[in-house]
Structure 1
């Protein structure tokens, strides 16, 4: 007879950012399993306390905040302007993104009442701003926002109900330059995030149709789109553009070597990747 981690043990190890092997370990006895679990837990708790001590005496800012600063600095150096928009979104703004009660994303939205919701994405507000900026500023117009978004996501190591998005858009560039520009901008962000070994992959989205995803292994870090696009007319806009949306928690998790995206998220259970019940 053989024994593997119990569900309780697996949950605790996942909370402590234990690196799970692809094949679950097998132990000859329950005693051997529990001893191995205790040894792993003690080591992870010690490492967590050391990391919290470094945050107190040296870093002062958790990984998610540091990531936001690094990305903002990299993009402003490339001529992008940072904007900030409301978290509460009108239902009509979502409808312009084709998200209505028949859309797959509609059931994931946190509705405040029958006319307002917590934004599930940054794009509607950026479209709204851009329709004026392309009139007021010379082309190309380059803007980005970093802010919270909210979706009723499936719970797992890589999903959150509240997550932080970076959405950047460059509007008014030559149409033939779009594909190369997406690759260039992805490289700027990934270099600032300190992540290499990623790849770009053509795929599709329930909102944007054809997209270009940024992946590290099997983990999606960003999704990119380009226009002219069928959504542009809903905002009275036209022209060639590119845009990319990155999940900052996933970037911070990869940069810090974590295994659980919740550990680097906005949380009252974790601080800078460390579970506080240690």
Structure 2
């Protein structure tokens, strides 16, 4: 007889970040399965408790916080300036990104009132900064932001309603250097995150059209370049590149986690460890 985990057991294994290979085990009897489940749960509960003890005594900062610092230091060393912009943005800013009530992303936005929302992306604020900084600084203007974004994403192991984005931008570079710079920025982030053997794939975005996506089983980042049709609404004419990454997904892939929730802001997990252990 081919016996699999019960639905409750599967959920518990996923919560404990037990590998997909172990989650796909088959058994000859229910008793064999239940014994294996008890043994696995005991092992990973012990492992989780041990990690939390180390976290309290020595680590003291969550994975997400540590990755943010590592990325900030690496980008600063390469001449990029960090900015911090508001999480509440105007409806008009989204409209400039072509996100109106007919756009697929519109229904995923958390609206505060008729004119304001929680930002679903970092790009509108970075466009605004570009326009002013072009008057004040000589190009190329290299900016990045690490900040929380909000979307009514479909629930599952790959999506969060509240997630952390890194956007890296460079404005005013030569046209013939844009592709190379996108690939360099992708390589930098993946190196800092500790992820190798990734792929770059050209695909299509509902906002930017053609994009260069960073893949390792799942999409980890997405890059675009301009001049772009959106630029005129912001008064931007110079060539640019921009690439964004979801930090929780980077951590999920690096740590071999089974759900992105364990890597994000949470009351159920701490440093990737489920707290009901």
Give the corresponding residue for 2:13: 13
Are 1:35 and 2:23 an aligned pair? no
How many residues are aligned here? Answer: 277
TM-fit CA distance, 1:255: 2.5
141-150 or 16-25, which moves further after superposition? 16-25
TM-fit CA distance, 1:22: 8.6
SS of residue paired to 1:135: helix
For 2:59 and 2:34, the matched residues in 1 are separated by 35
For 1:252 and 1:240, the matched residues in 2 are separated by 31
Whether the 8 Å contact between 2:13 and 2:23 is mirrored in structure 1 is no
> Under a length normalisation based on structure 2, what TM-score does the superposition of the two structures give?
0.98
Q: For 1:239-278, what aligned pairs fall within 5 Å after superposition? A: 239-278=238-277
Whether the 8 Å contact between 1:2 and 1:27 is mirrored in structure 2 is yes
Map Cα deviations across residues 38-79 of structure 1 (whole Å, 9 max, x no partner): 111111111111111111111111100000000000101010
TM-fit CA distance, 1:112: 0.8
Q: For 1:44-193, what aligned pairs fall within 5 Å after superposition? A: 44-193=44-193
221-230 or 185-194, which moves further after superposition? 185-194
Map Cα deviations across residues 203-255 of structure 1 (whole Å, 9 max, x no partner): 11000001000111x21110000000011001011111000000000112223
Whether the 8 Å contact between 1:63 and 1:256 is mirrored in structure 2 is no
For 2:92 and 2:46, the matched residues in 1 are separated by 50
Whether the 8 Å contact between 1:90 and 1:116 is mirrored in structure 2 is yes
Whether the 8 Å contact between 1:81 and 1:143 is mirrored in structure 2 is yes
For 1:219 and 1:259, the matched residues in 2 are separated by 12
Where structure 1 has 5 or more consecutive residues not aligned to the other structure, the ranges are none
Whether the 8 Å contact between 1:173 and 1:240 is mirrored in structure 2 is yes
For 1:75 and 1:219, the matched residues in 2 are separated by 24
RMSD between aligned residues: 1.1
For 2:194 and 2:128, the matched residues in 1 are separated by 32
